[in-house]
């Protein structure tokens, strides 16, 4: 009889505070090609809630930073969507667009986030990068690409945004998926209900 596969180990969701997210971004060199690129990449996952695969598949033409819109053409399940990004995230992207334009070997056909030779970045690069930056920034939590998406969703919920808006921003197929997702990463209803009890 073949051995049963071990159950997949799931780690608890760890949401960063806004201060932790900022120091993570600040741990990137704000002057070098790689540092400016990584600041923008972290910024787009954190401030627009993109999955790492969605961020890495972006092209320069997918950005409309004047209105704060990002067109995600290669989303999960093959569904395209448009998401919003705030002024802070857009500023990081603008810095990268300017620096990227200075790299003479890069064209508009190359991925938005790429090496100085136009080669695409890989998800494994980001998965190694984030814990290294977290150590440099003194963050004790487990920091990974999807954790930035968790942080984005938790912040939107804390700001009181409608669940339907959050669902569209995250690109979930159904509202129920978003409700479960939010309850998993930011169980505010449970915490508030328990906090309101009298001793």
Q: How confident is the model at residue 104 (pLDDT cuts 50, 70, 90)?
A: low
For the annotated catalytic residues, the residue numbers are 51, 76, 146, 149, 172, 181
Q: What pTM does this model have?
A: 0.86
Band of pLDDT at residue 2, cut at 50, 70 and 90? low
8 A C-beta contact, residue 19 and residue 137: no
Q: Are strands 69-72 and 81-84 parallel, antiparallel or unpaired?
A: antiparallel
pLDDT (tens digit, 9 = 90+) per residue, 117-166?
888 999 999 999 999 999 999 999 999 999 999 999 999 998 989 999 99
Of 43, 38, 27, which Cα lies nearest the Cα of 133?
27
Listed in sequence order, the residues at least 6 apart from 149 whose beta carbon sits closer than 8 Å to its beta carbon are 45, 49, 50, 51, 170
With tokens 């334009």, the residue in question is 101
Q: How many CA atoms lie within 13 A of 118 on its CB side?
A: 10
Return the residue matching tokens 């949401």: 15
**Domains within the chain, CATH numbers bracketed:** 18-195 (1.10.443.10)
Reported as a single tens digit per residue, the pLDDT across 42-77 is 999 999 999 999 999 999 999 999 999 999 997 777
* β-strand partners of 64: 69
């Amino acid at each position: 009889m073949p051995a049963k596969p071990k159950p997949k180990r799931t780690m608890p969701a760890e949401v960063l505070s806004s201060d932790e997210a900022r120091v993570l971004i600040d741990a990137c060199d704000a002057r070098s090609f790689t540092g400016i690129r990584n600041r923008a990449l972290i910024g787009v996952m954190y401030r627009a809630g993109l999955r790492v695969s969605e961020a890495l598949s972006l092209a320069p033409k997918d950005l409309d930073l004047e209105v704060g819109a990002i067109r995600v053409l290669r989303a999960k399940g093959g569904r395209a969507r448009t998401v919003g990004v705030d002024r802070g995230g857009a500023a990081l992207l603008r810095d990268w667009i300017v620096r990227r334009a200075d790299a003479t070997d890069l064209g508009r056909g190359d991925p938005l986030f790429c090496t100085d030779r136009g080669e695409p970045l890989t998800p494994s690069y980001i998965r190694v990068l984030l814990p290294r930056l977290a150590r440099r920034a003194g963050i004790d939590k487990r920091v990974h690409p999807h954790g930035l998406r968790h942080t984005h969703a938790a912040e939107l919920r804390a700001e009181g945004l409608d669940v339907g808006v959050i669902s569209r921003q995250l690109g979930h197929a159904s509202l129920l998926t978003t409700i479960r997702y939010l309850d998993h990463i930011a169980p505010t209803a449970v915490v508030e209900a328990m906090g309101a009890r009298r001793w």
